[in-house]
Every structure is written in structure tokens, then in C-alpha cells.
Structure 1
Amino acid sequence: MSNIPVGVWISLETLIVCLGVWRVIQFIKAYKNTEQSLPTVEKIEAMVNSQIKNKVLAAFLTRDFLTIYYLFSPSNKREPEQGTAFTLHKKIGYGGIMFGFLFVLVLEAGGVSYFLHSWSTVIAWIHLALSLYLIIFLISDYKAIKRNPVLLSPEKLHIRLGLRLKAQIYLHNIDSIKAGKINFEKDKKKKDVWNLTLFGFEDPDFEITLKEPLLLRDGVGRDCLIIKIYLTLDEKEEFLAQVKLLKEKVEVVGI
């Protein structure tokens, strides 16, 4: 590598920079060309999907763009709501738990990186960079959870679990909705079941069974056929009553 002329290195670096700038310009154009009436989050998703055809890469890039978006956007700002909102983070004290977890992560990042520095500077910097990325992601994920409650509209149930997962369920496709963890223990490892609880290990409040499998995309870009969803909410009784009421109206109208 030392025999490679300096001019070649400069040319390669210039090419990489030019390609990066060109790609950024393409993303900006795609964002401006998206439907202006869409919420910012959906515009970002549409922008990435129009430019990146690989589903896995698109999923990771979308998450990174949304991480940056939520990191610098106000925490108390709500995304446009198209239905009745139900929060899922207040009663379990998710904010306090995340604050404590982030405090431990900051201490761990500094301490372990300092320890690794005496062994390998490169590994120390890699560990520090990954720790900072995780901290930033968790902050953005928490802000996304606060800004995107579960929305119940006359026809759909909109669920967005922070930066991790999202689902839209038509009410006419809901076969049953039950309170509690009826079959959670035997279902939680099945591939056609989604656990949309915040931590992933707490007991869910609702078991939603679908009539027809729903094609959803997980956090790493894989398409999944889902037949059952487990969900946790703060306003349990109100949510269950409204879902049943709207579901009855949908069945009567025949939507």
C-alpha cells in the first residue's frame, strides 16, 4: 500500500466524497418530491424507500435518519394525530427507567473505553463510538415513543413502537381482542406473533388476533406474516371499549 502514489489516494478520496455528495443530493430531491401532506416521519420513510431497493439497507438507513430527526426535534411535539391517542409509556415509568439506563451506559462507555485504551486505541474508539450510537438511539427512540401514541381511527389501529416497529391494522381484520396475557407464554416465540411491549419481556395488556395474516416489516427489513399482536397501553379500559365500539360499527357498515 505504501507504493501507491499519493495522487491515486487523493483521486480515490475525491471520488468517494463526490459520490457521497451526489447521494445526499438524491436523498434531498427525493424528500422534496414526496407527498407534502404526509407527516415528516412518513416522508423520510418514503424518501429512503424510493432511493434504496434493498429492504435491509433501507430499514437501517430509515432508522438512522429517524434517529437524527427525533434527536433534534422537540420532545413535547406530537406527530399529526388521525384518531384517538393512547399512550404506552407513562404507567410503567418508562422515562425514569430509561434515564437510569442511560446514566449507566454513559459511565460504562467512559470506563470501559478508558480501560481498553491501554490495550488497543482502535478498539477503545470503536467501543466508544458504538456506545455513543446506542445512547443516541435510545434517546431518539424514547422521544419517538412519546410523540407517537397508539392511534385508533374509525377504520384502523395505528401502532408505532418508537424507532423499532410499526403496524397498521384494519378493524375489520381483527378477529378478537382480549385483555391480559391469555396465550402469551406459548406464543411469544412464534414467528407470526409480534410482541409490541416496550421492553419486550413485560406482560402485555392485550392480545389481538387477526382474521387474515398481515404483512409487516420488522426492524431489520424482513417481511413477516403476522397473525397475532400483543400490546401494552396506559388507558386499558377506554381503549378496549372504543375498539369494540368501532369494530361493531365497521361490521354493521360492512367496510
Structure 2
Amino acid sequence: MMILGKKQNIWLAFLFMVLVSNYTLYNTGLGSSILPIETNGVVLGSLIDLVVIVPVLWMLYKGKFSLKQAIFLAAFGCIAARFIIPLEHLQPFVAVTWAGFAIEAILILLEIFLVATLVRYLPRILDDVRASSLPDLFSFSQAVEKQIPKHPVIQMICSDLLVLYYGFASWKRQERPGLTLHKNSSYIAFQLMIIHGIAIETIGIHWWLHEKSMILSIVLLIFNIYSVIFFIADMQAIRLNPVYVTDDTIYVSLGLMKRTEIHFDKIEEIIDDKEQLERKLSKDTIDFVARDFGEAYPQVILKMKEPVEVTFMLGIKKRYNQVAIKVDQSQEFKQMLQLRMSKQLA
């Protein structure tokens, strides 16, 4: 894993070198001194760098390759060329940059179409959520995937909808019964401290920054307001979504930050040895442990027969081989796990 990470950093270093060298060539005195009188060949080379080389290096760095991503990055390279290469040098190839703008416009229109599709099917999605017995964090995402094809933009919008719902529309909801993760921790106190810090920073920095750059101060203000709403929504989400257990699956979420579904027949081993629990968790272990002022350790680690998928904020998904969990009702949780697993083995 360390070797793989170093290789990925090399691709990022190469990408940075390509961008810096092209910017230096056209926008510094050193670059101007080495540019030939006839620059068409040099500009063509820069366009190849920005439209072909940079996208390839970025995909090598991320380790993900797709035609859509390649087209998007190539279009972005065309647009970047418009800002990096002065127009007097770029003039013979200006159509290439306009092609980049056209591709980006088409992609944006497709994203708008997806958003319109989400709005169109939203009543059906809400009906599915109301009809489901699962916690809203799980039923909502399942309803969206049922009604609308998976897409990163849709996932991001759905994450924002959850933030708005828990931030503004969930205050009359009653806590559902179940195993909780936060009551015996300082999780809520941490969230309140963060909100308090953001409020102080907004009051102090916003007025100072407003004198320097009004636009930047407004952007920062909007970001801080959204952050406060998010942390309030996260507190509501962890309060209203305790651990939910069915005959074959356990649904675990830690606020809006992360959630997963664990099938009992996929659990290979329950680790509850104190020495192992207090060790540093491995990279292939995801933890559902609420933050505390002191050191917080999981009560069990579930070793899986196959990797379990965990969904993070903005719909980002990763897979892990082990799941570390700490609940407020420790003995009840362990008894439930043993009972459900014994039924699966029977």
C-alpha cells in the first residue's frame, strides 16, 4: 500500500510539473526569453500537455479510468489553455478552447437534466421512504437508487437534501428505539464546540475580510453558514437514527458522516479481546465510534468474510474488511450479535 501511494504521488508530481512549466513558459520573463518567434509548434505542444497529458496523469494519480472522466478533463484542459496561454499565441488554435467550453456546456446541461429527473421522481422517492421501516438515512438512499440511475451529482444533491431535512424539518421527530452510539460520549458536545468556533470565526474574519475582498468574504460566509447547518443536521441524524436490526442485517450510521449495512451471514468473527480493541485500527477497518474527550475504543470488531461497503458524506463509497463499533448498550449489543449469528449458523 505504501509503495502504491508513493507511485500515485509521483503522477501528481509530474502533473504539477507539467502545469507549472507551461504557465512559466507563457507568463514569466524567463519563459518569454526562450519562446521562439514562431510559437505555433510550442503552443501545439502545450495543448497536447493540457488536453491529453494532464488528464492521463490525473487519472493515473486517482487510479480511476473512465471515458466520461477523460472527456471532462480534456474539456477542462481546453478551457485552462485559454487562461494559461496568451491569446496572441493561442489565436491559431482558439477553436480548440471553444470546443472545451462547448463540451463543458453539454456536460452541465446533462447534469441539469439529472437534477430535473430527481425533482420529477421526488414524490415517488418520498412515498418509498414513508413506506419503509428502515431508518431514513438508509431508506432514502435506497429509494433514490431504485427510482433514478446512480450518478455522482445525484448523490451529492441527495446528501444536501438530507442535510436540509435534518437541519430544518426533523425537530418534531421522536427518537426511535434502538441501540445508540452517542449518548455515553462527548459527540454532541464536540459538535456544539465546532459550531461555536465557526460562529466566532465568521464574526471575526468576515468583517476583516470584507474590507479586503467582498466576494471572498461572501463565499466564506456562505460556506460557514452551510457548515453550521451541516453540524446541526449531523447531531439530529445521529439522535434520530440509532442502530437498526433485522433478522439478517444490522444498519449502523454515525450521523451523516458514514453508514453501512452488515449482513450477519457475512460476519466471519466477532473480536472482543480488550488488547486487540485498544490497538490502533488497521487501514482496512472502518470505525463507528463516537468522538469523546478521552480515548474512545470500540467494544467489538466485526471481521467480515468479504468487504463491506460504507457510504460517506456526498455518497462516496469505500469497502472495508472489518467494522469497529461502540454502542451505549454494550452487553445488549453483544448478546444480539451472538443470537443473530447463532440463528444464521443453525
Q: TM-score, normalised by structure 1?
A: 0.77
Give the counterpart of 1:141 among 234, 238, 241: 234
1:61 aligned onto 2:157: yes
CA gap of 1:53–1:156, structure 2 versus 1, over 3 A, is closer
Is 2:194 the counterpart of 1:101?
yes
RMSD (Å), alpha carbons: 3.0
For the residues of structure 1 that align with 2:241 and 2:297, how far apart are their CA atoms? 21
Q: Aligned partner of 1:30: which letter? A: Y
Asked if the contact 1:109/1:131 (under 8 Å) is kept, the reply is yes
Unmatched tracts of structure 1, length 5 or more: 1-17
1:221–1:177 CA distance, 2 compared to 1 (3 A): same
State yes or no: 1:156 paired with 2:249.
yes
- Residue number in structure 2 paired with 1:240: 334
The aligned counterpart of 2:288 is: 196
Partner of 2:42: none
- Of the two structures, which has the highest relative contact order with CA contacts closer than 8 Å and spacing of 6 or more? 1
Output the CA distance in 2 between the equivalents of 1:47 and 1:235. Answer: 30
Letter paired with 2:291:
F
Counterpart-to-counterpart distance in 1, 2:202 and 2:218: 10
Q: Give every structure 1 segment of 4 or more consecutive aligned residues whose post-TM-superposition deviation is greater than 6 Å.
A: 18-24
The 3 A distance-change label for structure 1 pair 76 and 155 is: farther
- For the Cα contact (< 8 Å) 1:30–1:47, is it kept in 2? no
Matched, 1:207 2:301: yes
Give the 3 Å change call, closer, same or farther, for CA 216–100 of structure 1 in structure 2: closer
Q: Say which of 309, 322, 335 aligns to 1:228.
A: 322
Q: State how far apart, in whole Å, the 2-side matches of 1:63 and 1:70 are.
A: 11
Tell whether the 8 Å contact from 1:86 to 1:150 is kept in structure 2 after alignment.
yes
Q: Which residue of 2 aligns with 1:4?
A: none
State whether residues 75 and 146 of structure 1, in contact with CA within 8 Å, keep that contact through their aligned partners in structure 2: no
208-217 or 178-187, larger mean C-alpha shift:
178-187
- Bigger fraction of residues in helix: 2
Report the identity percentage: 22
Q: 1:241 to 1:46 in 2, by over 3 A?
A: closer
Structure 2, unpaired ranges of 5+? 1-108
Structure 2 distance, partners of 1:164, 1:181, is 27
C-alpha distance in 2, partners of 1:205/1:76? 32
Equivalent position amino acid for 1:58 in 2? I
What is the distance in 1 between the residues matched to 2:287 and 2:300?
10
1:118 aligns to 2:214 (yes or no): no
Aligned length: 229
TM-score by length of 2: 0.58
